[in-house]
A and B are shown apart, each in its own frame.
Chain A
Amino acid sequence: MAAYVIRRLLVNAFVFLLISVGIFVLVRVAPGDPVRMMVDPEQMRGGGQAFIEAKRHELGLDRSIVVQYGNWLSGALHGDFGYSYVGHRPVSAVLGERVGPTLQLMGAALAVALVVSVALGLAAAVRRNTSVDYGATVLGLAAVSVPPFFLGIVGIYLFSLKWGVLPSAGMTTPGGGGPADQLRHLVLPGLILAFVTAGPFTRYVRGGLVDELGADYVRTAEAKGASRARVVLRHALRNSLIPLITVVMYQIPQMLAGAVVIEQVFAWPGMGQLAVSSIGQHDYPVIVGFALYVAVLVLLCNLIADVLYAVVDPRVSLR
């Protein structure tokens, strides 16, 4: 197991390097000039041209892309991912302060999504081809197909404007509020992200459980006189949840994509908002930093999924 993990980590490091080259080149060949964008044409008379040239030199953008990448890589290996062009702060600090809010949003949404999807999937599988099953399927389908930004806008309209029970945006009331205040801000974006995430989970749980309930050991257990509840919960459900681990791990990077949209709608100060604004401003170092962060997340989640699988299912061996 340890050898496998180390080998996978080494491969991942190599993949990561390839990804960094790809992102670095892509970001820089995309049309647009981050420095020119900083200066309004009306300001060119006010020394804009000189500013642009000086800034370009300061940021090293007047060098070849190979040299730029070399500089970036040597910095990155020392943990220095450069400075944001906007506000001139280290990329690690800019990303760092937004990891927390995004993790909070995703963590809460994931917990709710898991509980809801297991309950719904269980009900749908046990009461197959009844109104419960069809209801769960329709809900799951709606979660997959309704765009999160639409849900967000509808949520704000109903819960903030019409009924006035929840705040309309932000993570806290300005000036801070207690944990209760933070929680009230989290409810709407968290539940919407949870709903969107729970859709695919529910279908997996239902499908897995339906398969397990048809397995031989279930019939055996029932023949030995075990109660239906015991059979479903102790045996079938447990076994059917194993594939869900993989699904959840693969879904986490997907959730980040959903979080980007939710954060925009709810002015949530997380990674998603940062990604959108840095792309708009061609803030190269931050875009590269963010993309690599996502790459690490995907690689790590895949590795964790495989390892966890081996841990919970003795039939699986890692080689």
Chain B
Amino acid sequence: MTIRSGRTRARGPGRRAVAAVLGGVLAAGALAACSSDPTQKSAGGDAGVLNMYLYQKPKTFSPLAPNNGPDQLVMSFIFDSLYGSDGSYGLKPHLAAAAPEVSGDARTITVKLKPGLKWSDGKPLTARDVVFTYTALADPETGSAQAGKFAAVAGAKELAGGKADSLTGVTAPDATTVKITTTRPAAGLPGLIGNTPILPEHVLGEVPAKGLGDNAFFTEPTVGSGAFTFVDYKTDQYVELKANPNFREPVSVKKVYLKPVTSDVATAQLRTGEMDLTQVSPTDLPTVRKMDGVKVVSAQSPGFTRIALNQSQKRFKDERVRQAFLTAIDRKGLVDKVLGGAGKVVNSSFYGELATSAANDYAYDPAKAKSLLAAAGWDGSEPVTLSWIPGQRDRDTAVTVIQSQLKAVGVNVELKQVQADELLSSYEKKSYDMALFGGGNYATEPSTVATIDACDQAYPAGGNVAHFCDPELDELLSKADSVADAAQRTSLFQEAAKVENAQVPYLWLYNPDAVWAHRTRLSGFEPAGLPTNEVGTWDFANWKLS
């Protein structure tokens, strides 16, 4: 551009235009100021409408997709499964009429459905829907990330290999009976697949298997069998659900809005009444406890915060080193100080009564830790890196405490903040030293502990990111999967817990409680230890809004 000299004759916006803009803005401001109806009245507080916190944005509403917490939370509202779980993670019949019948050789499992089940559109829900769903899940062609769970089912290999287009091991002898046959004893199968959401065959049955997972139904699953029916997902704003009149039990909450906001916003909205039910981080507890008209409830979580020690390194192979690390950390102090007491110290990956046999409690004892390290010939000059994904306040605090407590016994810890994918790739390359992470649920089906402990499950084959290996433990876990008798299974798992407790494959730090807070107008809400409700613990029929 060039500038010519000369007189300027601006023909800019005249005074009238400016006045109009100014007037418009002022009018808008006045309008905003005049509508002084308090937030409480317009948002929430409506009879029968529940506003609930969703801790992240959902991606898709598909049981075929890789597990993702917020997706599973939404799906637990709109889909039903054969089984859910009770407070202590035992199977609880949902669509099923009773507990599964497992044959003596643990190779045949029969499940009876409740009579008269219906989809939200009024069509009957039968055993054929279960067969359809399990076939879709076991077939990687559909884009299923869950096929491995069905490995023991007869015909799964042929289906996955493209040699068959049905799953011969899952059949429906009649409308209310599902029969599953397996190629090896698999007593744990109901606990592994029982809580999978069942899909409507009359909606998806005609869709070709290839690419089924990308079907538009999973963006707007308007037909379901859960307590609520999907209405709409206003992107980034809220998921809208309405009560399903055909649910197997009457539900009194009429509408649910699940809102993905930050936890700070959720806590603020709980106070203003824009939110009725939210998860609370332990660090926010003191604030929330002081709120009027808000009740705080919590449940023990089955998932634990833990540190993996990379046992592909020689220095971490000696169990005395791992025991020493565990003894050097004041875990009870962490629970009391970092979680404000809202958590529990554990000494095994097993949950509840199975873990009672875990003999050693690894109480905080720096002197003992030092002598264990000395006996193992620990070289204190070599630094140890502790990696973790920052952002959760309890973990961010815990790492610094752990760093100083390990330093006190002669372990030179360097902290390293990483991103999720960085951590995953360091598992695969075996390039990390120590990694702090959390989650998991081995309570619903204890044999899933193999996922993180078994020799053949070293990441990326499975979830054994510590590259731990103990054939004796593997043996016990597979034996437990091959007996049908519940008491016998329990005693085998208890034995496995004992071995695991002595070996310390991971440094178990604590199980943080799942803490919930809700406005007192909501009653009948029983908190679940798994905040994502992925195993269907919540009893929606009991929820009442005043």
Contact = CB atoms under 8 A, between A and B. Distances in A.
A139 interface: no
Given A46-B147, A160-B272, A267-B265, A115 B21 contact: yes
A316 B422 CA distance: 54
B149 A46 contact: yes
B35 interface: yes
Contacts of A183: 28, 31-32, 35
A233 interface: yes
A161 B4 contact: no
A25 to B, nearest CB: 19
A245 B274 CA distance: 41
B32 A187 contact: yes
A245 B120 CA distance: 57
Interface residues of B, number: 86
Is chain A's binding surface mostly helix, strand, loop or mixed?
helix
Contacts of A186: 32
Interface in B253-311: 255, 257, 259-262, 264-265, 268-269, 271-272, 274
Interface string B133-163: 0000000100111111100000000001000
A43 interface: yes
A31 interface: yes
B140 A50 contact: yes
Interface stretch (A62-70, A71-79, A234-242, A293-301): A234-242
Given A44-B462, A160-B268, A312 B145 contact: no
Contacts of A232: none
A91 to B, nearest CB: 14
Given A175-B240, A277-B57, A316 B269 contact: no
Contacts, number: 231
A99 interface: no
A37 interface: yes
A180 interface: yes
A168 B35 contact: no
**Chain A: interface size category:** 35 or more
Contact of B140 (A38, A51, A242): A51
Nearest to B13: A241
Between A180, A183, A267, A309, the greatest number of chain B beta carbons within 10 A of the residue's beta carbon is seen for A267
B237 A170 contact: yes
B452 to A, nearest CB: 7
Given A187-B32, A317-B4, A88 B214 contact: yes
B340 interface: no
Contact of B272 (A118, A164, A239): A164
14 contacts: A32-B421, A38-B65, A39-B66, A40-B67, A45-B462, A50-B140, A87-B60, A108-B28, A115-B21, A160-B268, A169-B265, A267-B261, A314-B8, A316-B2
